[in-house]
Amino acid sequence: MAARGPRPRPGVLDIAPYVPGTSALPGAHPVIKLSSNETPFGPSPRAIEAYHAASASLSRYPDGSARPLREAIGAFYGLDPARIVCGAGSDELLNLLAAVYLGPGDEAIYSAHGFLVYKIAIMGRGATPVAAPETNLTADVDAILASVSPRTRLVFIANPNNPTGTYLPFDEVKRLRQSLPDDVLLVLDAAYAEYVRKNDYESGIELVATSPNTVMTRTFSKLYGLASLRIGWAYCPPSVADALNRIRGPFNVSGPAIAAGVAALTDQSWAQAAVEHNEVWRGRMAEALAGIELKVTPSAANFLLLHFPKGSGRSAVAADKFLHGRRIILRRVEEYGLPDALRMTIGTEEENRAALSALASFMGGNGAPHR
C-alpha cells in the first residue's frame, strides 16, 4: 500500500506556480536579457564593495531587524525606522502581509493585470483572489470599489504596475483609500517608484504616514540592481509593523544584503544616472516601436508592454521565438491575461538597439526595418 504523505491545506495545490522571466537560452553565446526588469547597469560599486566586506562576517547572524538598513532608509526618506520592516525581497513582505491579514473565507482584490505574486500570496492563505477589471490596462478605482464585499480584507495595487507599466495618480490612490472600508488594508506596491517622473504620482509614503490602514512596499531589486541579494522593505502603520515583526523569520535579511543596501543608498549619483538613462531610452524605444507598428502601452516604469497584431503571423509567440533566434529574451505575459503582448525591459543603449532592430526585422518580415 502506498504511504500517505502530508496533504497541503486546501487551495495550495490550486496555485499556478510563479514562472520567472526566461534568463537563459540553449547554447554558449551570450544573451540579451530584457525579461525581468533588472537595471542594465548593475549595482553601485559601493554596494559591491560593501557586499565583499560583509564576507568577513559570514559566520555571524545579521542584525535580526535589519536595523542598519532600516535606519539608512529612514534617514534617506525621512521616515521612522520603527515603521519600516525589511524582507527578503518585497515578495516576502507581500506574502507576509497576506499571512497576517488573510485566511479562509476572506477575499483580497487586485487589478486584472496586476503583479502575479498577489494572487499566489492570497491563495496561499486559503483566501479568495478577486481580480477587478482594468480600464486601458490601468487599475480602475471604481472597479476595485465595486469588487469590495463584506469579506474583503486587503487590496493590492502595484503602482506602477508590472507588466503594464501604467500608474495611478495620487488623487486616485487617495480616493481609493478614502472609499475603502477602514478595516481593509491597502497595499501599495511601489517596486518601480524610483523610475516614475510624473507630477501627479506619489509612491505611498504620504498616505502611509497619514492613514492607519495603508502599507507601501519597495525593493532594491530594480533601480539599485540588487535583485539577487533579495532586499525589500515596507513602510507601515505601527500596528502593521508590529504584526509583521511577529511572524517574519528572525533573520530574514542577510548581513551582506543589509550592508549592500545601506551602501547602495549612499550612491545616489549612480541611481540617478540609471533613472536618467531609463527616461531617455523608454521614450526613444516607445517612439521607435510605434514606428514599426507595434502598439506600446504608455509606461512610467523601466519596461514597456508591446502589443503584437493578432492573426497576422506576427504574434507575440512568434516574435518571442524570432527574438530567441537572435539571442534576445523578452518576457511572455500570457499568464497575466496578455497573450498578444511581450514585456521588454529598458536595457543599455546597445541592448535596446539590438532589440529594436530584431523587432523591426520581425515586423518587416524580411530582415529590413519596416517603414
Strands (E), the chain: 32-33, 84-87, 107-111, 128-132, 134-135, 138-139, 152-158, 185-189, 214-219, 232-235, 295-297, 303-307, 328-329, 331-332, 341-345
Residue nearer to ligand PLP on the CB measure, 104 or 249 = 249
Q: What burial class does residue 108 get, using C-beta atoms within 10 Å of its C-beta: 0-12 exposed, 13-18 middle, 19+ buried? A: buried
Residue nearer to ligand PLP on the CB measure, 164 or 352 = 164
Q: Is 184 helix (H, G, I), strand (E, B) or coil?
A: coil
Distance of closest approach, residue 199 Cβ to ligand PLP, in angstroms: 22
Residue nearer to ligand PLP on the CB measure, 235 or 362 = 235
Residue nearer to ligand PLP on the CB measure, 86 or 130 = 86
Distance of closest approach, residue 201 Cβ to ligand PLP, in angstroms: 15
Distance of closest approach, residue 331 Cβ to ligand PLP, in angstroms: 10
Distance of closest approach, residue 148 Cβ to ligand PLP, in angstroms: 22
Residue nearer to ligand PLP on the CB measure, 221 or 252 = 221
Measured at CB, which residue is nearest to ligand PLP? 89
Contact 351, 32 (CB under 8 A): yes
Distance of closest approach, residue 21 Cβ to ligand PLP, in angstroms: 9
Q: Which residues bind ligand PLP (CB under 6 A)?
A: 37, 89-91, 115, 158, 162, 189, 191, 219, 221, 227, 232
Distance of closest approach, residue 318 Cβ to ligand PLP, in angstroms: 25
Contact 234, 70 (CB under 8 A): no
Inter-CA distances, 148 with 107, 108, 302, Å: 9, 9, 31
CA-to-CA distance for 293 and 364, rounded, in angstroms?
10
Distance of closest approach, residue 134 Cβ to ligand PLP, in angstroms: 15
Q: How many CA atoms lie within 13 A of 235 on its CB side?
A: 24
Strands (E), 159-263: 185-189, 214-219, 232-235
Distance of closest approach, residue 356 Cβ to ligand PLP, in angstroms: 23
Inter-CA distances, 349 with 99, 281, 288, 345, Å: 42, 8, 13, 12
Residues 6+ away with beta carbon under 8 Å from 219: 89, 90, 191, 231, 232, 233
Residue nearer to ligand PLP on the CB measure, 85 or 358 = 85
Residue nearer to ligand PLP on the CB measure, 37 or 147 = 37
CA-to-CA distance for 80 and 94, rounded, in angstroms?
20
Distance of closest approach, residue 293 Cβ to ligand PLP, in angstroms: 27
Distance of closest approach, residue 230 Cβ to ligand PLP, in angstroms: 7
Q: In what order do the strands lie in the sheet with 295-297?
A: 295-297, 303-307, 341-345, 331-332
Give the chain's radius of gyration (CA, Å).
Answer: 21
Residue nearer to ligand PLP on the CB measure, 344 or 360 = 344
For 1-31, the DSSP string reads -PPP---PPTTGGGSPPP-PPP---SSSS--
Contact 109, 155 (CB under 8 A): yes
Residue nearer to ligand PLP on the CB measure, 251 or 322 = 251
Residue nearer to ligand PLP on the CB measure, 225 or 232 = 232
